[in-house]
A = this chain, B = another copy of it.
Amino acid sequence: MALASCLPPLILLLLLFLFLTLGISGVHSSTTLSPSAAMQSLAQKRKPAMDSELPFTAHFFPQQLDHFTFRPKAYHVFYQKYLINSTYWDQGPVHTAPIFVYTGNEGNIEWFAANTGFMLDIAPKFKALLVFIEHRFYGESMPFGNDSYESAEELGYLTSTQAMADYAILIRSLKKNLSAEASPVVVFGGSYGGMLAAWFRLKYPHITIGALASSAPILQFDHIVPWSSFYDGVSQDFKDESINCFEVIKDSWDELMVVGAKKGGMLELTKTFRACKKLQSVYSVRDWLWTAFVYTAMIDYPTPANFLMPLPAYPVKEMCRIIDGFPAGEDILIKVFSAASLYYNYSSTNSCFDIENGSDPHGLHGWDWQACTEMVMPMTSSNESMFPPSTYDYKEFGDQCMTKYEVRPRPHWITTEYGGNKIELVLKRFGSNIIFSNGMRDPWSRGGVLKNISSSIIALVTPLGAHHLDFRAATKDDPKWLKEQRETEVKIIQAWIDQYYEDLRK
């Protein structure tokens, strides 16, 4: 049976940071939303990122539950976590040294602090205070404690607008408490956090003088970019390395289904994929592979890194080297398993894989909720891609969300609230001081702003960059173009701050 006749893998989407793959549980059963193994392994990765390892102090801010209504429940207070580093902050008599704020995204804030070394790297030059703010409903910033994910009654307050209002209130309060009300605030964010940074600059220009939004796919909504752009982007990354590699992966899906449908096929797959427990569904294997290719494309960094998983430099090239290294006659599933193992087991710590472990012990599936409410990013596989063809249907997706959460997505809300359609036309004469940085190896870049909009709303595009690579701490092996990109960013931010000081003096 060919995969094309299956129900489509509606949404291997939304894989910003803590990507929850929303796979299909069976060919003929209705689609359900379930977190993937990748999520699980991520959760394990994130554990060690404790406060003590990071050069920050942790604080909690009393935050109001609902900024946009005045119902009695809106006044419920929860404690929002944020991290501070004031090592480099110029605390002279006139407190106008800049404040750099990371607008946290869908995960605990230590995770982003640990992976945004760029801010630490540049803080001394700017004598900047660093603040990393955790997004509500992630990490320790749980409005209803352990019950925060109980139902839509609680989760309903998990929205981007509420999160940005949190940031506005926290920043304003912090500046007041530090007697730093005249300090310019620059916001930084990557991925969903990058969207928040850009939108925050647009919605709160009185709170921040500029935003560096890295890998922010703010155009991945509605019909602004083609729905197939993301998976086409992943596929192009592999095709660029090796046509054979691309073809092997493309052919593997049918082969997987053929084996899975055979008598004893699931046992065979269990063995081939070294699953710790006997596999129940061929789709979990598909999602496991899919996830490995997608994430590896996103984090195709030019140096060894440990962001989602420990990986060597240029991991897509490495994966294709593995695939291309087999003799032509080798089992196609062995080839893709070996490639995926690079992603899941580069450090050789796993003797078997928890492919179907969909549990979520760390309660990190908030993005799943966000995808089912406002962050609706339709994604399909086109004929150009190495993934099985798939379509997307608002109605079907909405039904899934209704089943899971008892609320319906609002698919056009993001573009209504934040814009995106004809963004050049709109922002050409409105707004200022935003850098959209994108690496073209990152499939999300196709949903990003890739052209300068005005003299101060700038697109920095690097052909070899990957998912918010610029935000990573500098290493001695960084290629020249990456160093130059970061230098450009620093120069632009410096110009914003200089202009601010000049305006302030007038």
Contacts and interface: CB of A to CB of B under 8 A. Distances in A.
A161 interface: yes
B152 A72 contact: yes
A162 B417 CA distance: 11
Nearest to A415: B206
A169 interface: yes
Interface in A350-379: 373-374
Given A206-B420, A417-B168, A70 B430 contact: no
B70 A69 contact: no
Of A70, A416, A420, which is in contact with the most chain B CB atoms at under 10 Å from its CB? Answer: A70
A429 interface: yes
Given A75-B407, A408-B75, A419-B205, A159 B429 contact: no
A413 B67 contact: yes
B432 A430 contact: yes
Contacts of A69: 66, 68-69, 156-157, 159, 162
B156 A425 contact: no
B156 A416 contact: no
Of A64, A68, A72, A417, which is in contact with the most chain B CB atoms at under 10 Å from its CB? Answer: A68
A115 interface: no
Interface string A153-185: 101111101100100110010000000000000
Contacts of A204: 419
Contacts of A417: 67, 165, 168
Considering the complex of A and B, which 8 residue pairs feature the smallest CB-CB distances, nearest first?
Answer: A206-B419, A71-B156, A68-B68, A205-B430, A70-B373, A69-B156, A70-B156, A206-B426
Given A168-B416, A202-B205, 20 more contacts: A67-B161, A67-B413, A69-B69, A69-B159, A71-B152, A71-B156, A72-B153, A72-B156, A74-B407, A172-B416, A205-B430, A206-B415, A206-B423, A206-B426, A207-B416, A207-B419, A425-B503, A429-B456, A430-B431, A431-B431
Interface of A: 64, 66-72, 74-75, 152-153, 155-159, 161-162, 165, 168-169, 172, 202-207, 373-374, 406-408, 410, 412-413, 415-423, 425-433, 456, 499, 503-504
29 contacts: A64-B410, A67-B413, A69-B156, A69-B157, A70-B152, A70-B373, A70-B374, A71-B407, A72-B152, A72-B407, A75-B408, A165-B417, A169-B416, A172-B412, A172-B416, A203-B203, A204-B419, A205-B419, A205-B427, A205-B430, A205-B431, A206-B418, A206-B420, A206-B421, A207-B416, A429-B433, A429-B499, A430-B431, A430-B433
